[in-house]
Amino acid sequence: MIKTDRKPFVEWYDECAERVFKFLCAKVSSTADAQDLTSQTFLKAWQAYPNLRHPERFIPWVFTIARNLANDQYRRKKPLALPLDESAPDPRANPVDDVMKNQFRTRLAELVAELREDERELLYLRYQADLNFREIAQIVRRSESAIKKQHLRLLARLQSQMELENE
């Protein structure tokens, strides 16, 4: 069924453009590249939207486009590792807490950078793009239960590594 009404596309764009951008920031070496890939993602989606058969799968579909574009770019040039998204500092926090949080974030980012690409991607899709397990499973073409298991194992492994270093 070919769609001529693109109003739902605009609504979906408003809902997920920032999440796609954050995901791409984690996948590529610069903000400018992430912006370019975000634009390319939605341009491709806009062009293909009339042929989209399952509108309820719009978000996983768009993330699949973004993922494929980022992978294409990765093949052309190797990206630099980026730290995990950091929140704005809390003005009420004391300096010791700030230092501890920064050390924790830095070490966590280092551990995440050491993960395999598919493991990093799972974490980025879950925490930076804020996707649920069903959506992630559709994007990476694996079962939802396999994604949940991998996620739990990753978190346990990261937690274990962090605890070992804090002893």
Whole-number Å distance between alpha carbons of 138 and 147? 10
| Report field, pTM of the whole predicted structure over 0.75 | no
The model's pLDDT over 109-138, given as tens digits with 9 standing for 90+, comes to 888 889 998 999 899 899 888 889 999 999
Q: Which residues have C-beta within 8 Å of that of residue 11, sequence separation ≥ 6? A: none
Q: Give the separation between CA 162 and CA 108, rounded to whole angstroms.
A: 8
Transcribe 36-79 into DSSP letters: HHHHHHHHHHHHHGGG-S-GGGHHHHHHHHHHHHHHHHHHHSPP
CA distance 42 to 33: 14
Model confidence over 135-159: pLDDT tens digits? 999 999 999 999 999 999 999 998 8
